[in-house]
Structure 1
Amino acid sequence: MSLSSSLDSQAPEVAILRVSGLRCAGCVRSLENQLKEQPGVNAAAVNLVTGTAVVTYSPNETTPTAIVESLNQGRFQATLAEANVLLELPTTAEETSLPRLAIALVLLILSSVGHGINLLPGHWPMLEAMIWHWGLATIALVLPGWEILREGIAGLSQGRPNMNTLVALGALGAYLTSTVAWLWPALGWQCFFDEPVMILGFILLGRSLEQRVRQQAQRDLRSLLALQPKQALWQPSLTASDRWPIPVSRIQVGDWLWVDAGEPFPADGTIVTGETLVDESMLTGESLPVAKGVGAFVLAGSRNVGAAVTLRVERCGRASFLGQILDLVVQAQNRKAPVQQMADVVAGYFGYGVLLLAAGTALFWGAIAPHFFPEITNNTPLLPLKLALSVLVIACPCALGLATPIALLVGISRAAAKGLIIRGGDVLQHSQQLDTIVFDKTGTLTTGELEVAEIHLYGDLSLETVLYLLASLEHKSRHPLAVAIQKAWAATNQTTELATVTELETVLGLGISGWIEGHYYQAGRLSWLRDQGIDSPPLAVETHVALARDRQLMAVVTFRDRLRPEAVSTIQALQAQGYEIHVLTGDTAKAAQQLLEPLGLLPVNIHPDLQPQQKLALIEEWQTKGKTVAMVGDGMNDAPALTAAQVGISLGSGTEVAIEAADIILTRNHLEDVLAVLALSRATFRKIQQNLLWAVAYNIVALPIAAGVGLPLWGLSLTPGLAAAGMAFSSIIVVLNSLSLSRAN
């Protein structure tokens, strides 16, 4: 095995798990700790809303299967997202049991009728009997409440109390106390069998409503998932006329698929027979169908709107363009903003704090309050217990745990539906602090579709030979200059095959060199050739590539480019919002200023003649001066600057290196999407702040009231049932507030 392959085998890999049993932020923290404790797991991030866990692990120490098997031995159950199957979200039926909710609501109604018997006409002795109310409470605990009791007690026994622990203790406490009071009436205690019924009924009703709102919040993400069909038509051979429907999960690279008109393409691939029109609007933003024939590449999720074609599969499942977008979106929701990390830490200890507060409440009202407020405590022996139970069930770690992930789900999913991939909550938080935005020129502010303008000859080579040699040197490069040279060579209609280049070397951002037919050729910037000791006349050339043979200048090729149509309006809008704009380019000062003149930037904001390390140095220099910098680029030489900037933004047409280095990817390649992604980032982060403020404020106000602070002042207290209703609906408010993002402009 080579050194490189050995290193690759030890490089960390990422697995995505679907997890059930997540109820609150305490569950999230508990699961993350369980995952991180497993051998070979380097990092783990869990999302409460989507029910996913993104795990980074060392493949030489563990496997995703081993991680799942270990996890399934506890109270959480996980399944592994397979490589050739797109991710799925849990359905409403998976998240909430409607039969349990129906039983709980029926019991709640019957209990309420029993306690309001005086309002009913006639005589109903059975509904007044205590055994009736005991039966309703028992059924409520055994049927709809059993899962809550089981998970809550399991969490408590493992030293990891969660929301279900608080609810279970509240319901069981009310039930057992009422049972004792019923069996031993001499104690003089009050029976309140209606409380466990109300607690469980309101909790399950709140969860059901919350899950339905979550489904609406997942609308944009589900619309992306819906782009891939469930089945594909498989052909045994290219010439076969029989076709077999197969699940998309069984598609393999190299398969032939028949795609009828009106059907979506089930995988990325190349058309091998037929011609058609392809609607790529959901993926690339191209509003009009694109004509494609044999040899054209199509994307999974795009729709065939012309005629039937045969497709050879190149990428499928999560490796397809659509699959990669979905993976990035899911991973983004599991990448937490610093503010969420803090909230998760608080929520992780929230259960312990509430248990202590409930114990303190019972102690205060049982041992201390009688000396100060005898008129309140003398005739209510169960007051300390009822207030402690109210504290348990009114506390809402769920709202705190949902505050960030539900806003991220709506914001990031909506962005993805518009072709904007935001890699995580930390990116959103950094985007709020930006004051400087830096653009690469070629391919970012410009179309990047360069074309050869002129060829200046300085030796005995013809124009065609210069293009032939340059195309041979650059034939594997996708740099805009190399692509322009290759197009110019193709336009000569020469049938000569390109020359074989030996000892090919590339100096990033400067040039390329190699041997062709016994001669040593160098192609690149004139300044680089001069540094190699090659004489050249002083030329005021713009964007160019100079060619030298055996250290003698042979030709200088100049190019022309043009600004993107939306470049001027985008820069002006960013300046109007107060951002400081800079442009980095490897072009000469004259060429850059002429091309960028319509942008209205000062010469001091245009930085020409830069190599990749100089771009990086400028980013770091601005950062040392206190600037918060975003870098927008698309090329391999932009990757260091994209990584160094607080927020890196890459166009979807950029190189894989640039896309990998970026925090935000604009898949539709529209420059004005920079404005859209910044606006959506601000709106999403505002929702996160509002949700956190509500969650904290709710608990700060609700817990003291439940603990009886209002009793001496206003005679105000909450029963455990009303406390449960408050807790259930506090989470719904967080979800509804986040859902308003989907209607924001």
Structure 2
Amino acid sequence: MVSASCKVVDFAVGGMTCSRCSDAVKKALSSMPEVKTVSVSLRTNMAQIEFVPSSECTVDTLKETIEDIGYDVNDIISPPSERAAKQTKTVAIAVGGMTCSMCSSAVHKALVETPGVKSVNVALSTNLATIEYEPSSECNPESLSDTIECIGYDVNDIILPKTEKVNPVKTVAIAVGGMTCSMCSSAVHKALTELSGVKSVNVSLSTNLATIEYEPSLECTPESLSDTIECIGYDVNDVILPQIENARTKTIAIAVGGMTCSMCSSAVHKALMELVGVKEVNVSLSTNLATITFEPSPECNAESLVDTIECIGYDVNDVLDESDEEQGIGDSQDNTQPSITEIEDRLDRITRQQNLQLAARRRSFLLSCVGAVPVMTITMIIPRIGGQHCPIEETLHQEVSILNHSFVSESLLLWLFTTPVQFICGYSFYKTSFYGIRKGILGMDVLVALGTTSAYIYAVIATWNGDPSYRFFETSAVLICFVLLGKWMNAMAVCRTSEALTHLMKLQAKTALKITPTSMKNGKWDPLVDSYEEETVVVQNINPGDIVKVLKGASIPADGVLIHGEMSVDESMITGESIPVLKLEGSEVIGGTICAEAGSGVVKSIDTVAAGFVRVTGVGSNTALAQIVKMVQEAQSRQVPIQNLADTIAGVFVPCVVAISFLTFLVWYICCINGVVPESWYAGESPMTFSLLFGIAALLISCPCALGLATPSAIMVGTGVAARCGVLMKGGETLEIASKVDAVIFDKTGTLTKGKPVVTDMIRTIDDNALAKIAGVEPIKMDGDEYLLWLFGSVERNSEHPLASAFVSHAEEKLGSFLDSKPFVQPSNFVALTGRGAAGTVNGVKVSIGNRAFAQHENMEISEELEELLRELEADGKTAIVAGLNGEVCSVVGVADELKEEAEASIRTLHDMGIEIWMLTGDSTRTAVAIAKRLNLPLSHVVSEALPSSKVEMVRELQSQGYTVAMVGDGINDSPALAEADVGMSIGTGAEIAAEASDMVLVSGKVSDACVALDLSKVIFRRIQWNFVFSMIYNVLGIPLAAGVFFPIFHARLPPTVAAIAMSLSSVSVVCNSLALRLYKPKDVYALPRRQRISGAVGRLRRRGYSRVQRDEIGSFESNDSNLELV
């Protein structure tokens, strides 16, 4: 590293021809006292010098030194390293021993006084000191650590930025010329090993290659390694930077057109994974995107990936995104995550492509109607309405001679109208079939192409031979028309399955009102007092730290903190909650949510604009909305394990159907020509036509797309519904496992409870007269409760203990406007005993508040009645606090981490769902038992004083008993258990690492969302099973029906056109069944189970005088009697 007092300069030296020349330049420069290091490269003719500037040592004197020994200086370059020497760096130091704000202030003061330090931020909560400094010999991570240790604190760890943390080892291979024996290779090995920075050397005599691992530095570069080899008399023929050094992966997103079901996406996935160099492929049917991660090479690049997709018959509509990811040590941070704006742009392009595809399908269908409608008119309508002597019918049956061959006019017209439909409108079927067969991928298009082509060829032969079977043209044209109609309908339905992402995208604001303060009168910017400039900018131009103004009805442009005013925010699209949430100053707000109401928190004048002012904390890919969209996209693109079974079946489905179809034709034809089938069964038709119709119908009624759409369509809709309900699922596999969960483990603190202590009880032990006597205050002039709260709050606001903060918050809430006229005062003689309590003198009154030990320390007498009261509070899981004045106990305070409002109802709901509940907590046994009693949990299902390892062991124990376990937690200490559980659910308000380790994120932070997540998972998976079963039943029953298995009984045949319609509608019905998931209503945890509702209704009706109540009467009273109250 270059010292702050040093400079670096590069000279392009001319005239050096050998190693002696470079040595001479190096020796001449090194002889100057101010020169620190010199590096001369003969290969590049460059000399790099690090020196301390002085009157005797400047760039000019260095140049003259080189020229004095007979060499030229062609150029002088100040490299980036010189500029880098002036840049600041950042280091984070983990400090041990800090216990309060005085400690953190001491560390801050000591570091700030160090020369070279620019800024210091000491966080007591994380015990981290983050220092920005200008590197020098006096100011570096080691000297900063010494500074901290010199004032009595420990340095537990030094966390450097990734670029400094590891000096990466690089590899270079040098082709050495002139080595003839092992002594030569040993000489090269020895010379290279002696260089500073070289880690390992491998010299191969057989390949004449020297492979060197080294730490790059000023003295150790490929050039200096080459110079070393040349200096001992060997030639350097080539310097090879092997692929391992330049190895990088690229990620490219390709918009694929023509995919209609999971068979299509599986075909694309399979074809791409077969390419050498492709590392990962993710094909999403919802967005029609194939995301490929690959190592670029001449054989594997964007063009070859596009060609591969097109080679199997699918269209490439666009290359949407391409990003480089350098692979190296410490390169774990993902800098390629798209921002919400980039995702929105991508989705817009996808939507445009989907609309173009819809338009193309609609156009193909309408074009096919141009030929199919006349064909249907000729073959179906005219014979039924014209009668036997209809002129049109007679004209159609006239013979026409062409090229000395007679044709029936009707057959030529049918041939004329059908041919464009078969080969123009049906081109896509042939194209996909051709490429699919080449790759061994057979889908629905193969069945359509085979069936229609068979019918068309047979009709052409019949036309040529004058056979009435020329009407088979109808089968070909109408089939293609109906299949195209089905594809159009299916595309419209599938587009609706991805509407959840579109709705999320619409939440993002396009512009923001950026505020620039121009004055600050009171040390803190206040928009009601200070002036500011207002500018409308696009959201891409706002950065963390900017202030934005949010008006009523506007979308909040980015994540941030409300710094002025109050806002009522509609977070329904993020959390699923329909009631707006009140945001006060200091509250966090989420980008994309709607400001339903805004104000300054004071009475507004007529000219006051209702607005909130937000300081931006997260933009781009760091916003909550971007993360939600990303998770929804990932969840929609990941497969459910049951999909693997569907893909396996679909993979062999088409060959089996083709075989069954051919076998159907063959059996019927053999039976016909051998007289097994009575001629009356096929009267008016030839045996060939009769048999062929069965074969084609069997071919066309089968639908692999219904099977392929069963799972992905439900996943697409279901994950969107889950996001709307405030539940983010990270993949299809999670959904399937969650549907089988029969045991849930809850962390207590922050999950079942609010995670913050609050005052639950404040019990006065003396009346106002006794209080006045102790405090010396006239009873008439005071309110006892307010006075006590004011005294206790004045003392506790000086303590940093969480219980003290809870008490101060309680006092501020209860006192309200009282504090306007009589604010808290600074106590004298303040003293705080760690973990016990605090005391001070306020207005001449000695105020003491703390636990039993502190009360004894303050000589406060605790009677038996008072002790009993303390024990009752503690039995309820609360912390009992004694508060007194002048040595007399005046009040007993209960503080607890309260249960969330919905916790008890949520636990009951899970019990009703047949799920076993456990509770784990690091809290004391007494508190855990009290919480368990309130939740009606058996004590055998409660584990207290649990460490992170204990939680993991509990998960494993339940899994060993055969349970499918879900873990719900919010903290860092829950992360191991979340990762170990079959399904990890993290509370959205908890630690980020907990969210990363989990499989689901409950955005609103409510326990009831766990019920919604498990219930919705069951509903979605059940819908997948229904789709799967329907698809299987349809094909299992449809194929035999079309093949004529029931013809001997009913003497009715399924026409191929009807089979084609059934095939098209089967896939549409599967998608529509999945779309019905959008009607899902989140589970109401407060609703009574049906049995309790009926029981309450019966009791109520009997009290009204009914002696006998029937079950149907109960239902009618439940629905019609508005005065009926449930017990």
Q: Structure 2 CA distance, aligned partners of 1:387 and 1:482? A: 85
Q: 1:243 to 1:617 in 2, by over 3 A?
A: same
Hey, what does 2:651 align to over in structure 1?
Answer: 348
For residues 377-411 of structure 1, the C-alpha deviation after alignment (integer angstroms, 9 at most, x for no partner) is: 89322344433322332110110011111122222
Contact 2:669 2:687 in 1 (8 A): no
Deviation, 1:697, is 0.8
Distance 2:259 2:363 in 1: 20
Q: Given the superposition, is the C-alpha separation of residues 712 and 318 from structure 1 closer, same or farther in structure 2, using an over 3 Å criterion? A: farther
Amino acid across the alignment from 1:709:
V
359, 372, 384: which one aligns with 1:119? 384
Residues 413-464 of structure 1: CA distance to partner in whole angstroms, max 9, x if unpaired?
Answer: 111111111223322322232221111010011011136999xxxxxxxx99
Verify: 1:226 aligned to 2:533, yes or no.
no
Question: Where in structure 2 are the equivalents of 1:568-583 lying within 5 Å?
Answer: 568-583=904-919
Distance 1:687 1:286, change over 3 A: closer
CA distance in 2, matches of 1:154, 1:398: 18
Q: Report deviation, 1:228.
A: 2.3
Q: Structure 1 residues 58 and 412, CA, compared in 2 at 3 Å: closer, same or farther?
A: farther
From 71, 75, 83, the equivalent of 2:338 is 83
- What is the distance in 1 between the residues matched to 2:744 and 2:576? 24
Amino acid corresponding to residue 365 of structure 2 in structure 1 = L
In structure 2, the partner of 1:669 is 1005
Contact 2:638–2:733 (8 Å) recurs in 1:
yes
1:708 pairs with 1027, 1044, 1047, which one? 1044
Does the 8 Å contact 1:167/1:393 carry over to 2? yes
> Relative to structure 2, which stretch is displaced further, 251-260 or 367-376?
251-260
Post-superposition offset of 1:41: 4.2
Which of 706, 728, 731 lines up with 2:1064 in the alignment? 728
Counterparts of residues 229-248 of structure 1 (less than 5 Å) = 229=509, 231-233=510-512, 243=535, 246=538
Letter in 2 for 1:421: L
- Alpha-carbon deviation of 1:70? 5.8
* Kept after mapping to 2: 8 A contact 1:29/1:345: no
Cα contact 2:561–2:587 (8 A) shared by 1: yes
Q: Hey, what's the Cα distance between the residues in 1 that align with 2:294 and 2:897? A: 45
Q: TM-score, normalised by structure 1?
A: 0.78
Deviations 1:199-220 (A, max 9, x none): 1111122223333333444444
Q: Deviations over 1:63-96 (max 9, x none)?
A: 9967964655543425436813225264663342
TM-score norm. by structure 2 comes to 0.53
1:440 paired to 2:695 = no
Tell whether 2:419 aligns with 1:162.
no
| CA drift at 1:154 | 2.5
Name 1:511's counterpart in structure 2.
none
Structure 1 vs Structure 2 CA RMSD: 4.3
Between the aligned partners of 2:926 and 2:295, the Cα distance in structure 1 is 51
Maintained 8 Å contact 1:415/1:680: yes
Looking at structure 2, the residues matched to 607 and 224 of structure 1 have their Cα atoms a distance apart, in angstroms, of: 40
2:780 maps to what in 1?
none
Asked whether the 8 Å contact 2:797–2:804 carries over to 1, the reply is: no
Report the Cα distance in structure 2 between the residues aligned to 1:612 and 1:272, rounded to whole angstroms: 37
1:325, distance to aligned residue in structure 2 (A): 1.3
Count of aligned residue pairs for this structure pair: 668
- Choose the corresponding residue for 2:722, options 415, 423, 426: 415
Select 2:993's aligned residue among 657, 664, 672.
657
Per-residue deviation, residues 298-357 of structure 1 (Å, max 9, x unmatched)? 322212343456766544455421222122122112222221211122112322222333
CA contact (8 A) 1:29 1:348 kept: no
Residue matched to 2:944 = 608
- C-alpha distance in structure 2 between counterparts of 1:2 and 1:364, whole Å: 77
- Matched AA of 1:382: T
Q: 2:429 matched to which residue of 1?
A: 148
Report if aligned partners of 1:48, 1:401 keep a CA contact under 8 Å in 2. Answer: no
**611-620 or 360-369, which deviates more:** 360-369
Secondary structure of the residue that 1:381 maps to in structure 2? helix
**Which residue of 612, 617, 640 maps to 2:976?**
640
Matched ranges for 1:531-610 at <5 A: 560-610=896-946
Query: In 2, Cα distance between the equivalents of 1:600 and 1:641?
Result: 24
Cα offset for 1:257? 6.3
Distance 1:719 1:371 in 2: 24
Question: Helix, strand or coil for the counterpart of 2:343?
Answer: coil
Aligned to 1:324: 627
Shift of 1:43: 4.1
**How has the CA–CA distance of structure 1 residues 265 and 236 changed in structure 2, closer, same or farther, with 3 Å as cutoff?**
closer
**Alignment partner, residue 396 of structure 1:** 703
Answer 1 or 2: higher relative contact order, Cα 8 Å, separation at least 6.
Answer: 1
Q: Distance in 1 between matches of 2:482 and 2:942?
A: 62
Match 1:179 to one of 457, 460, 473:
460
Contact between 2:253 and 2:291, CA under 8 Å: does it hold in 1? Answer: yes
Deviation at 1:723, TM superposition (A): 1.4
Q: Which amino acid aligns with 1:129?
A: E
SS for the counterpart of 2:756 is coil
Q: Alpha carbons of 1:565 and 1:225: their partners in 2 closer, same or farther (altered >3 Å)?
A: same
- Are 1:19 and 2:256 counterparts? yes
Cα-to-partner distance string for 1:446-483 (whole Å, 9 max, x where unaligned): 011136999xxxxxxxx999999988xxxxxxxx9999
- CA gap of 1:272–1:464, structure 2 versus 1, over 3 A, is closer
What do residues 530-563 of structure 1 show as CA deviations (whole Å, max 9, x unaligned)?
Answer: xxxxxxxxx999899xxxxxxxxxxxxx973111
Q: Match of 1:205?
A: 485
Using the TM superposition, give the Cα deviation of residue 117 of structure 1 relative to its aligned residue in structure 2, in angstroms: 1.1
Question: Contact 2:739–2:1017 at 8 Å: present in 1 too?
Answer: yes
Q: How far apart are 1:12 and its partner, in Å?
A: 9.5
Aligned: 1:96 with 2:358: yes
**Aligned 8 A contact 2:575 2:724 in 1:** no
Conserved 8 A contact 2:796-2:804: no
After superposition, the Cα gap between the structure-2 partners of 1:736 and 1:173, relative to the gap in structure 1 and judged at 3 Å, is same
Matched residue, 1:382: 689
Structure 1 residues 48-57 or 402-411, which shifts more? Answer: 48-57
Choose from 387, 402, 414 the match for 1:133.
414
Secondary structure in 1 aligned to 2:986?
Answer: strand
SS at match of 2:678: helix
CA distance in 2: counterparts of 1:599 and 1:257, whole angstroms: 44
Mapped partners of 1:294, 1:18: distance in 2: 45
Query: Which range moves more in the overlay, 169-178 or 193-202?
Result: 169-178
> Which has the larger displacement, 142-151 or 733-742?
142-151
Does residue 1:109 correspond to 2:373, yes or no? yes
Specify whether residues 278 and 567 from structure 1 end up closer, same or farther in structure 2 by C-alpha distance, changes over 3 A only.
Answer: closer
Task: Note the 1:363-512 alignment, pairs <5 A.
Answer: 363-367=666-670, 370-371=673-674, 373-375=676-678, 379-450=686-757
Of 700-709 and 659-668, the range deviating more from structure 2: 700-709
The secondary structure found in structure 2 opposite 1:86 is helix
Q: More strand by proportion, 1 or 2?
A: 2
Distance 1:6 1:487 in 2: 51
Give the distance between the partners of 1:562 and 1:595, measured in 2 at CA. 9
> Within 2, Cα distance between the matches of 1:291 and 1:393?
59
Residue 572 (structure 1) shift: 1.8
Task: Report what 1:622 is aligned to.
Answer: 958
Q: Show CA shifts across 1:48-72 (max 9, x none).
A: 3443446566899999967964655
Give the C-alpha shift of residue 688 in structure 1: 1.0
Contact 1:20–1:51 under 8 Å retained in 2: yes
